[in-house]
Amino acid sequence: MKILAAIKQVPSRDSSLRVNSSGQWIEDADLTYEINEPDAYALEEALQLKEKHGGEVVAICAGPARAAQTIREALAKGADRAIHIEADDVDSLDTLALSKLLAAAAKAENPDLVLTGLQSDDLGSGQTGVVMAELLGMPHGTIIMAVEKQDGSIRVKRELEDGWFQHVTMSLPAVLTIQSGINKLRYATLMGIKKAKTKEIKVVTAASLGVECTPQVERLKVYVPDRTKQAQIFDGPAKESAAKLVEKLKFEVRVI
């Protein structure tokens, strides 16, 4: 069973973020980077499936040269080899352009299963896995909580709203977006880190993949939201004030 785990390198969660001079993205000169946490759970699920059923786990990542650090981390945790799609402008790519790159590299591997995180910590669109599935012509499942391999198919558990779950049997090959928290993430061992240095990282580019990845969506502005405080006093009898408060919370704030 060949499993592709799509991972992304994102700024560390404790990074101090500032908008850059162009006003279209964040200043990345002094940032530290790490693997996108939802993708770490996708990688972990891939590794556990390999341990149960055998096969191969291939990590795939699009990004500039610095993304090699995140790829090495995936290899140290147990991925057998990796594909690095070198793209210096990855931060400017929209979902479709990025998905085209990942899908082209994935198609050449002819995988049985493609796993991605549910969403990325930086943009959070939650669309990449779904668009990849469409480009690859594969069935897909989102918000996956469990994966069970069967003969020629898989049975997955999807998280729905209000504590409900859905169980679906899917044919292979397929694409799944994995929900964070379904497994306990492993740490890279010292032996794993040593082995990662000798594992294959295949470097490709958009040109070598034959992909035209011009973004169809333009990011106009990135800015820090204004912080405002607003207080509203409800005068009158307690019963009427309570009714007004509930109405505000329900229809304006939308928390109930």
Contacts 24+ apart (CB under 8 A), 235-241: none
Query: Which pLDDT score, from 0 to 100, does residue 256 have?
Result: 80
Domains and CATH numbers, the chain: 2-209 (3.40.50.620)
What mean pLDDT, rounded, does the chain reach?
91
Which of 58-67, 99-108, 121-130 shows the lowest mean pLDDT across its residues? Answer: 121-130
pLDDT tens-digit map of 213-233: 888 888 888 888 877 777 888
- Name the pTM for this structure: 0.85
